[in-house]
Structure formats: structure tokens, C-alpha cells
Amino acid sequence: MNKKAFAGLFLLMVLGAAAFRLAGLGLRPMHHDEANQALKFGALLESGDYRYDKADHHGPSLYYLSLPFARALGANTLAALSEKTLRLVPACFAIGAILLLLLFVPLIGKEAVLWSALGLAVSPVMVYFSRFYIQETLLLFFLVGFIAALWRYKRRPSWAWAVAAGLFAGMMYATKETSVIAFGSIAAAFLLASLFRGNKEGGISSARSAGRHFWINTLIGFAAAVTVSLLLFTSFFQNPKGWFDSILSFKVYFVRAGEAGFHVHPWYYYLQMLAFSKPGSGPLWSEGLILILAAVGMVAAFRGRPSTTADRPTVRFLVFYTLISTAAYSLIPYKTPWNILLFYVGFIILSGSGAAALLGAFRSRPIRALIFLLLAAGFLHLGAQAWRASFAYPADPRNPYVYAQTSPDFLKLVRRVEDLAALHQDHEKILIKVIAGPYETWPLPWYLRRFSRVGYWTDAAAAGPLEEAAIVITDIEQAGRLESGLTASFQSEYYELRPNVFLVLHIRNDLWEEYLKSRAEK
């Protein structure tokens, strides 16, 4: 394939990926995890202050990398931020991950890179979670860059690739604590891949042949990783203990990974979601094509004829990384669906190798044409699912990727509060009291960010007299406890926060009467 054809086709993949990821970023209500991250970033945006919290929120990279996006779009305060502004950050890094596949061209070939780019562009799970303001998409970007830089270094050792690998590794560590799973999987995959190195196969041994330069470059790369992570975790040396807290955080997350609770799922949870899903009365969802092509790529890595002397070790490494990281994530009881991204990217790159190997296995033009048409139909089906997941079913429980997602009904509560505040003499300074458990509170702080007098309590006794507030919001449990005290002074409305989780909006009688009067006048 000539350079112009490759460049044109790759550009089409990137444009398609951008269309899926950048359109309609405000369609879905903010997930409570997104809202939590948004408030953390809002504090950095407004005050310039950030402190790493080893017990929550994950690493600092998401917040610091959000700053240029917010400022470029004219948002200088939390109130000025929007869902679109925040979600633009992971969406752009998701597109960037596809661009990083260009680094794999000398390693696995142009055809494999094109098919991998197509898979990454239209994979429903990749598209869906690249539109979430959470750390995983950034971690995916840095992971792809780290693996590519490592193997480019193996191919042609130099201090530049060592620094690139170090910077990507440091950013991985500064993004999320689960990066250690990726690092462990990568190390184990390198070890196993080296055992299968043939006499004529390069890649694994090239760094060793560099002699003392290998150790110098390793130190340079390690220094780059430590430096970038140190700068971010210490808030550019404003919080010196931040980097040490990042090490202590592993104890917190190790304990959390083994805890029982809502996020505990069986070992096959991720693979079942990818292979075959049909929640309730919804449509069928499957990324089976990627899994099948990845299996072909795995077989070709050990039994097929390599197209170059360099691609076989790389693909074998990807096989081991994918299997090891998949096993690691599957065996951890604590599971959330966005964790799929970190091991599924291995399947997608292997599926590119598999598609290229499948087409290269036949010389007959009719057979190759038939295989190409079948592949095109399969990827078109993936694209249709990606559209359905992100645009037709973005917050619908019939979408298998929807997980503890905020219900669209919750937005009616938000609009009601805004309408009531417009009628109240204090407007955005209206007093609102929220009495609910932590799980039921979010994403209220994000949606009420423009109101300056909002208080949050888990116990009504600490909230003071409720009648002084024009609006009170409670969870179902607190509403039951306060029923006798609220009935005389408030009118209550029920809204779904998440599936089977409800909030109760209590409107003080004088404001309620004013609201009814305004409706009658209209």
C-alpha cells in the first residue's frame, strides 16, 4: 500500500472517530463519577489549587489537562463549565489514541494499523466511554503511547524513545492508580515474549545489544517518568507530600478491590459484556467481530508467516499483554465497565493484525474480496452499535454500557429547581438544603453549581430548621423520616435519580403557590 492511500484511509478513520466522539456531548446526563471529577476540576480552575487525595478522585492528570480546554472555551469558573467542555477532554484524547497507532506502522504493518484504527474508531464501548469525563480514556491514550514508544525503542534504541516512553509512563501513573495493572502486565508480557524469540526475529534483543547505552537510556526514561509524575502529584511542588500519598494510595485501592458491594461482579463480567449482551427487552449488542479477529491475530502471531522480521515479536507481546491484563481485571472482584478500555485496546490492535493476516492468507482475488466485504459489514455493524449506544440509548438501561447512570428524569428535577429559583426573590441565592446519603447526593453538586446557598447533610438534625429553606431535597429514606415535619409546610415531588433510586423535591408552600400562580398566568 502506497503512502497516499494509507494516509487517505487513515484520515477517514480519524474523521469517523471524531464524528462519533465530538457530536452531541451534552446528550447524556452527567454520571455521578463525572460530576465528582468536575467539581474537583472546578476548584483547580477557580483557585489554581489542587491537592491529591489518596482515598478518592484518582490522579491529577485529568484536571491539569482540562485547564487548556476550559480556558480556550472561555470557562474560568465552575459555573461557566458545561458538560460539552469537560467531555471534550477525553474525546480528544480518544482521537489522539488512534493517531498514536501510527507509531505501530513499522512494528505491525500499515494494513494492521488501518484495521486497528477502524476498530478503535467504531468500537461501541470505546466510543461510549470516550464521551465520559473520567480518567480511563486518558489512561488509554498514555498506555498506547507507552507501548508504542517501548517497541520503537526496541527497534532502534535512542534516548529520544526512552524519554518518550518515560513521559508516557509517568502520565499513566499520574492518571489512575490502576496503571500498576498495566505496568505489571507489560513487564510479564515482555518476559513471556522473550521466551518465544526466534533466531531471526528482532525486537526483544535489540536493546541488550546497545550495551551500556541501554542502562543509560533506561535511567533517562525512568527519570522522565518520575519527573512528570512528581510535578503533577505535588501540584508543581505546592504539595510536597502528594507524590508519597500516591504510593500510599495503593493500600486504599487494594482493600477496595477486594470489598463486597455494588461493584462486585463475576469474573466473566467484562467478556460477557463484549461478546454478547441483551439487557431486558433491548436490542442485541456484541463486539464479537473484534474478539474473533483478535483470536486470528493471536494464532497468526505464533503460527502464521510474519510480513516483516519485526512484527512477530510485537504481536506476540500484544497477545501476552492482552491475556494477562484481561485475566487481572477479570479476577479482581471490584469491576466497573470503563475498566474494559485498558485491556480491550489489546484485543483491538490484535484484531487489526488478525484482519490483515486473514486477507494475506489467500491469493485468490474473489476470496479476498469476499473476506473484505464480510469485514466491512462487520465493522459497519459495530459503527451502528456505537451510534446506538451514544446517541439513541445514551442513558437507557437497555444499553449494556450504562452503569449506575443518572436518569433523564433527574434533569426534570433540576429544571424545576431553576424555574422555582427564577420566581424567588433571591434567585440564584435561594436557600436549598440537600439531606441525603453520599450515593444519592451526586450529581446534584454539579447541577446546582450556579446556586450560591446550597448545603449538604446526611443527617437532618444537623441541617437546622428546614422551614428556613425554600427548597429541600432528600432521598427516600430521609423523606420517610421527615414526613411529619415536611407535610405541613412543603409540597413534595418524586424524581428518579438512577434506576430504582429516587430523590424527593420538597417545595415550601409559599413558593409553591407562587409557582402555581405563574403557571396560571401563562
HEC per residue, 265-304: CCCCHHHHHHHCECCCCCCCECCHHHHHHHHHHHHHHHHC
Shared domain for 130 and 266, answered yes or no, is yes
Q: Which pLDDT score is estimated for 262?
A: 76
Q: Which residue has the higher pLDDT, 250 or 291?
A: 291
Percentage of the chain surpassing pLDDT 90?
Answer: 80
Rounded to an integer, what distance in angstroms lies between the CA atom of residue 359 and that of residue 350? 14
Is 522's pLDDT higher than 80? Answer: no
| β pairing state of 490-498 and 501-508 | antiparallel
- Domain-embedded: residue 399: no
Lowest mean pLDDT segment, chosen from 233-247, 251-265, 489-503: 251-265
- Of the pLDDT bands very low, low, confident and very high (cuts 50, 70, 90), residue 55 is confident
- Domain-embedded: residue 502: yes
- Of the pLDDT bands very low, low, confident and very high (cuts 50, 70, 90), residue 50 is very high
Give the total number of structural domains in the chain.
2
CA-based diameter of the chain, in Å? Answer: 86
Is 496's pLDDT higher than 60? Answer: yes
Angle separating helix axes 340-360 and 136-155, nearest 10 degrees: 50
Percentage of the chain surpassing pLDDT 70?
Answer: 94
Shared domain for 9 and 120, answered yes or no, is yes
Residue 72 domain boundaries: 3-392
- Domain-embedded: residue 328: yes
Shared domain for 78 and 149, answered yes or no, is yes
Shared domain for 102 and 222, answered yes or no, is yes
Q: Which pLDDT score is estimated for 304?
A: 59
Is 200's pLDDT higher than 60? Answer: no
| Sign, Cα dihedral of 388, 447, 53, 474 | negative
Is 426's pLDDT higher than 50? Answer: yes
Is 225's pLDDT higher than 50? Answer: yes
Mean pLDDT of 381-397: 97
Lowest mean pLDDT segment, chosen from 60-69, 356-365, 402-411, 444-453: 356-365
CA 204 to chain centroid, in Å, comes to 31
- Of the pLDDT bands very low, low, confident and very high (cuts 50, 70, 90), residue 210 is low
Shared domain for 129 and 246, answered yes or no, is yes
Q: Which pLDDT score is estimated for 51?
A: 93
Mean pLDDT of 288-297: 97
- Confidence (pTM): 0.93
Q: Which pLDDT score is estimated for 504?
A: 97
Element (H, E) at 373: helix 365-387
Shared domain for 233 and 376, answered yes or no, is yes
Shared domain for 379 and 428, answered yes or no, is no
Q: What is the mean pLDDT of the chain?
A: 92
Q: Which pLDDT score is estimated for 129?
A: 98
